[in-house]
Structure 1
Amino acid sequence: MSEIQINTTQNVNINFTLASVGERIVAHLIDLLIKFAYAGIVFWIFSEIVDSSRTLQNLDWWSLVSIYVLLLFPFIFYSLVLESLFEGQTLGKKAMKIRVVKIDGYQASFVDYIIRWFFRIVDLNMLSGFIALISIIVSEKGQRLGGMTSGTSVISLKNKVRISHTILEEIGDDYKPQYPTVINLSDNDMRIIKETFTTARDAKDNDTLLKLRKKVEEVIGITSEKDTISFLTIIIRDYNFYTQNM
């Protein structure tokens, strides 16, 4: 499989396995099935309501179409909304265990998802996706036009990433990471975090744990509602998920 190398802000090179063309096509087909199922159900329900409502029956054809288009907003903005909510994944991508990521090591932003969504008009809707297929095959980083413009690509989560050296932590093959931005940490950062966490936890030093938590949240750019020990435990495991040898 092809790989993409991401250089994090701490100058750590991480190799991610790119999602294959087949995985992306299947994910797209799953999303299409969900979207058209929704559109069909909405059309059926809307038709039933129109047939039983004198108010709606008195509306002209364009008014009815306008109402139906409004009801189709979840269909239209499906990928934009889900990728924004699920950090680069739609339901199809979740099923295929693939994700959208920035190629510069940062987590994709809402603006990046908007760019990807907008370019779907060219990539996927024109010529039945032929443009996207050719772009992905030709691109060194497996990007369609929307990915090239937004600086994103799609990686597989089925295989662990590779890094020159790791902070070892036992995690299962079915482990699911929660904080992708942990890749912004360096190996040295993680050593300090793990050593400080272990010492403070064993000594029940809550002040140190809280200070450590705040620093980690600041560096990786997130705020978690989990308790401090659970949060730091997940951070250590997530880092190992993204940096263990395949």
Structure 2
Amino acid sequence: MRFFNRITFQTPESVELEFTLAGIGNRALALLIDYAVLGITLLLFVFTWTVFSTQLVNFLEDFFTSLPNLDIWLLAIFFIITFVIYISYFVFFETLWFGQTPGKRVAKIRVVRDDGRLIGLQQATLRALLRPFDEILFIGAFLIMLGSREKRLGDLAAGTIVIQAEIPIASATLTISEQAKELHEQLIQIADLSKLLPDDFAVIREYLQRRAAMSLKARASLSLKLAEQVVAIINLENLPEAVTPDVFLEAVYLVYQEPKF
């Protein structure tokens, strides 16, 4: 495994988007944090289940003289619910938080598809279902360290990679308005941002970086055209009210780079 292994996506506009793969260290840190959160959740469930099952057994014993195999059924149900909680934790957060769990957010890494798009429910579910196999005899860790794209079984099946989360960098040629910072939180709730491709983002970024050098007429025309295209991609009916195309594109830039909830 190479340190700071990087991967490049080539967009149709000949713009290269380069990301750094997360690496075994960051992924291990994220997993430790996630297991700490998941462990607390499971402890609460075990306590609740113990109280519930005890009361259920006492209740049924008042009506039935014998309850054959009741303990076995309760134990089976307990393990099924525990497994569902385990899987649902990763599916829920990776779907809702665009490829991040609490652990991944702290470690500043994110799961994306092989083509750079944000993952959805299908990819998150496949990764979660194969996670137990990855952790048996540390199979996943070996695959991450030996593979050029640092993929575990779940990544191979779901077509995903884990990258370091990029943070928007402000510069003299790329400024983000306060209105856009407020709007980007609303977009997360009302738009399907998973449909944005790396080349969509690249075009938006290139425009935001170069708009200062454009004439007012060219800038207004191009920003409106780009905004209308993005609106169609993310399933919005129209631009939000009282929002200029520039502000809208800035908000999309922020959402795609680092969604906040």
- TM-score of the two chains, using structure 1 as the length reference: 0.72
Pairwise CA distance, 1:111: 2.2
Q: In the aligned structure 2, how far is the partner of 1:78 from the partner of 1:148?
A: 20
Change (3 A) 1:47 1:189: closer
Structure 1 stretches lacking a partner, 5+ long: none
Specify which of 168, 172, 190 is matched with residue 173 of structure 2.
168
CA contact (8 A) 1:12 1:186 kept: no
> Cα deviations across residues 29-52 of structure 1 (Å, max 9, x unaligned)?
111122222111111122123334
- Counting aligned pairs with the same residue, the percent is 25
1:76 aligns with 2:79: no
Distance change >3 Å, CA 122–CA 46, structure 1 → 2: closer
> 1:167 touches 1:191 (CA, 8 Å); kept in 2?
no
Give yes or no for the alignment of 1:109 onto 2:120: yes
| Residue of structure 1 in register with 2:130 after alignment | 119
**How many pairs were matched up?**
224
Equivalent residues of 1:17, 1:156 under 8 A apart: yes
Code of the residue aligned with 1:55 in structure 2: it is F
The within-5 A match list for 1:122-201 is 122-124=133-135, 126-127=136-137, 130-157=138-165, 168-170=173-175, 181=196, 183-185=198-200
Give the TM-score normalised by structure 2.
0.68
Partner letter of residue 156 of structure 1?
Q
Question: Bigger shift: 185-194 or 94-103?
Answer: 185-194
Residue of structure 1 equivalent to 2:59 = 55
Distance 2:239 2:78 in 1: 41
Q: In structure 1, what is the equivalent of residue 103 of structure 2?
A: 92
Would the aligned equivalents of 2:6 and 2:21 in 1 still touch at CA under 8 Å?
A: yes
- Displacement of 1:8 in angstroms is 3.4
Mapped contact 2:87–2:129 kept (Cα < 8 A):
no
Contact 2:231-2:239 within 8 A present in 1 as well: no
Aligned equivalents of 1:84 and 1:36: distance in 2?
A: 20
Moved over 6 A (4+): 175-178
Which residue in the other structure is 1:64 paired with? 74
- Counterpart code for 2:85: P
Residue 25 (structure 2) pairs with residue 22 (structure 1): yes
Q: Is the 8 A contact 1:17 1:159 kept in 2?
A: no
Per-residue deviation, residues 51-72 of structure 1 (Å, max 9, x unmatched)? 3453266761133224434543
Shift of 1:116: 1.6
Question: Counterpart in 1 of 2:248?
Answer: 231
The offset of 1:81, in angstroms, is 2.2
Q: CA separation of 1:105/1:224 partners in 2, compared to 1, >3 Å: closer, same or farther? A: farther
Distance across 1 between alignment mates of 2:144 and 2:168: 22
- Secondary structure, counterpart of 1:170 in structure 2: coil
Larger Rg computed on CA atoms: 2
- SS of 1:116's equivalent in the other structure is helix
SS state of the match for residue 125, structure 2? helix
